[in-house]
Amino acid sequence: MVDKSKIVIAGHSQGSKIVSKLGALNKSVTHVIYLAGNPLGRYDQGIRQQRRDALLGKISSEEAQRNIDTLYIKMKEIYQNRNDGAHGFGDSY
């Protein structure tokens, strides 16, 4: 038997942000499943990875900072060109 009074949506990774927004906006949605998402996006994940690699000695602190600076430049481009669609890691504005 199907319970038509409940609408459950699920999102994983980037999709988790989509279902969060959809669940907040659509009052027909009764349950949201948020799986393995980073609410700060993939660029945050990339920055954390650079810092981790530097701490573990995989790369120098200077190299990590150069890579992080590049990520910030890409993030700035996304916000300046927010109607251009997906950029970089697949994140968009």
pLDDT at 1: 86
Q: Which of 25, 85, 17 is nearest to 45 (CA)?
A: 17
Structure tokens at 79: 């916000």
> What's the pTM value of the predicted model, to 2 decimals?
0.61
pLDDT tens digits, one per residue of 30-74: 999 999 888 777 788 899 999 999 999 999 999 999 999 999 998
Write down the pLDDT at residue 50: 97
In the DSSP assignment, the letter for residue 52 is H
